[in-house]
Structure 1
C-alpha cells in the first residue's frame, strides 16, 4: 500500500505536531510522549505497534524538534509515516540500551510530561520512575485536535459511511430464517471488506433475545421468523477512519406493539439529530432522544449514552451523554444511536454518524431508519 493511500499529505502532520506542541505549552507541559496507537497515527500517520520495546514520539513544547525514539529492528514501521518527508529526527536504539533515558534526554525543562492514554503500563512505569513523577494524560491536549475533523477527515468519514450503507443495503441477501447469527456475520464481514474497509472492526448480529444485549456479538442461535434483529457493523477505510452504523430488522411482519415501540425509537433518534448544531451542549443532544423515549414510557429501556465520537478510533471524544457540557463545534463527528432493550425478549437500535456543520449537521449514513421488514 502506498503512503499516499494510507495517510494524508506530510504537511498535514507537520501542522498537527506544531499545534500539539502549542497546546501542550499552553497546558504548562514540557513535552508530550506519544506511543503507538490512534494518537501517533493522528500526529505522524504511523501504523507502528506497541511491543515490549519502546517506540515513542517525543513532542517538546519549547519549539525544539519532535523526535521518534524507536527500536532499530522496528525502523521499518515508520516507512509509510510522514517522518521522512517532515525530516523528523529518529533516535533508534538496540537491546542493552535504555530507551527511557533516551526519551528523558529529549524532554526540556523540569520534565513535566503528558503521555498518550494508549501507553502500556510496561512503558509508563519506567518513564514515571525516570521522571520521578506519575505523568498526566495527554488526552486533554490531543482531544482538542482530534475532536475537530478537517475537510479530508470528513471526506474519509463520508466514504466510510457510504461503504457501510452499501453493506446494510444487502442485508436481505443474508438475514433470513434458518441461518445462524454466525453465518450472517460471516457474509457481512466479507461484504465489509469488499466495500472498501481494511477490516471488519465489529459485527453485531443480535437476533431475538440477543438483541436486548447492546454489545452482543454473534452466536450459533438460529434466526427465526418473527425475530427482531439488531445489526451494528463498521470498520476503517483508508486512511484509518471508521464507519459505524446500526439498523434494526424484522424477519417477517413484526408484532404491532413491537413495531410501535421501534417507531418511537426512530422518532427519538431523529429528534437527537435535529438537536445538533454549533453551541448546543453534548448532553442536550442526549436529552433530545432520552426525553422523547421517557415521555413514551421507555426511559428504563434506554440503558446507554446516545453517542460517541468517531474518527481514527471507533469510540473517541466527544461523548454524547448526560453531564457532558462540551459545546458542539463544526467538524465534530459522532454517532447518534439511541436504543431500547427488553431483557429476554428483543432490542432495537438506530445509529447514524453525523458531522457538525455551521448550522446543524450532516449525516454520513443515508439508509432508511424505520424497522426494515425482510421476508420471513
Structure 2
C-alpha cells in the first residue's frame, strides 16, 4: 500500500501545480505536505529537512546528514528524488535556495513550517514574496485517491473497534480520566500508531465539544460523549463520536438525541458530487432548528480528514465549493443544552454517485447497565 499511497507521480504533480500557481518553487518541511508527496514522515527538528520543488527543474530533498539513512529507508528513498545531505557547519537554507533561478519572484513555504525557518528562507531569498504552499497543495490533497480512501476505510474500521469496546470501560464510579486512559490503550491495540485525542465528556462536560479529560466521576443516569481518533501507520487519521449513558437517560436528553440522529442522517444523505458543503451543513442544521434546538448547535457540521485530522474541505455555511468524488470529511452535528450534550460523528467520502461512511457502529444511544 505504501507505493499506492505515495506514488512517484506526485512529485511531477506538485511541480506542475507550482508552475500553474506562478511560483518559482515550494519548500516542504516535515509535516503532512512532505509526507503526502514523498511518504517521508520526517522528524520536525531544529535542523532543516526540506523538499524543494522548483517549477522548472527536478525536486531534491535537503536533509541533515544524521537523518540521511532514515530518509533513504522511507518511501522517499524509492522515488528517485535526489537527497542533498548537509553537515553541522553548512548553511542548509543556502543549499535549498542556491539552485533556484536568479530573481525568483515568489515561493511557497509549507503551511506547517516553523516561523524561524520561514524567516531564514526570507533572508536567503530577500527579493522573493513568500506565500503559503497550501495554495499549491490543497488542490492535490483535497481529493483522495482510491488508495487514500482505502486507508481512511481502514482507519474508520479501527476506531469502530474501539467504540465497540467502550461499553466495557464506562462504569458509574469511574472518572473520565480513568476511562480515557483505557480508551487510549485500546486505540493503540486496535491498530493505530498514534493516539491523537480522547474526549470523554460526562454529564455537563458533554456540553463542551472539546472537553478535556478530568477527574469528574461518572454517575448513574448520565450521558457520556466519547469522541476519539488516532493516526494509522499509513499516516491517515480516524475520528468518530458516539454517545453512551449509564442506565436510562433523562427524558429531555432522549428527546433531543432523536433529533440529532435524524439531523446527522440528513446531512449524510445530502452528500453527493456537486452539492456544496454549506448545503450539507444546512441539511442537518435545519432539522435541529425546526425542533427548537438551533441555538444549541454551536459549531460547523464537519471538517476534512486525511493525513491531518482537520483539513479541507470544511462543511460549514459560506463554503460553496462543490463537492467532488474523493473528498473526505466528518459529519458531526451536536446539541449542547448545558446539563449534558450529544454529538454523532462519522467520517464520510463523497463518491461518484453519493456517499460512503467510513464509520459503521450503531448510532443509537448506547445504554450501559
Q: Does residue 115 of the first structure (1) align with residue 105 of the second (2)?
A: no
Quick check: 1:116–1:138 contact (8 Å CA) kept in 2?
yes
Cα root mean square deviation, aligned? 1.4
Quick check: 1:353–1:365 contact (8 Å CA) kept in 2?
yes
Shift of 1:153: 0.8
Distance 2:78 2:179 in 1: 44
Q: Does residue 54 of the first structure (1) align with residue 41 of the second (2)?
A: no
Shift of 1:96: 2.2
Q: Does residue 19 of the first structure (1) align with residue 20 of the second (2)?
A: no
Q: State how 1:173-188 maps to structure 2 within 5 Å.
A: 173-188=168-183
Distance 1:8 1:228 in 2: 44
Unaligned runs of 5+ in 1: none
Instruction: Give the corresponding residue for 1:84.
Output: 77
Distance 1:179 1:169 in 2: 18
Q: State how 1:189-268 maps to structure 2 within 5 Å.
A: 189-268=184-263
Instruction: Give the corresponding residue for 2:343.
Output: 349
**Deviations along 1:148-193, whole A, 9 cap, x unmatched?**
1111111111111111111111221111101111111111111111
Q: Does residue 317 of the first structure (1) align with residue 321 of the second (2)?
A: no
Distance 2:343 2:217 in 1: 21
Unaligned runs of 5+ in 2: none
Instruction: Give the corresponding residue for 2:166.
Output: 171
Q: State how 1:143-158 maps to structure 2 within 5 Å.
A: 143-158=138-153
Distance 1:273 1:109 in 2: 51
Give the match's secondary structure for 1:232.
strand
Q: How many residue pairs get matched?
A: 367
Distance 2:233 2:74 in 1: 14
Q: State how 1:257-296 maps to structure 2 within 5 Å.
A: 257-296=252-291
Quick check: 2:272–2:355 contact (8 Å CA) kept in 1?
yes
| 1:35 aligned to which of 11, 19, 29 | 29
Deviates more, 1:66-75 or 1:268-277: 66-75
Deviates more, 1:81-90 or 1:24-33: 81-90
Quick check: 2:49–2:61 contact (8 Å CA) kept in 1?
yes
TM normalised by structure 1 equals 0.95
Quick check: 2:4–2:147 contact (8 Å CA) kept in 1?
no
**Deviations along 1:186-212, whole A, 9 cap, x unmatched?**
111111111111122111000001111
Shift of 1:134: 4.4
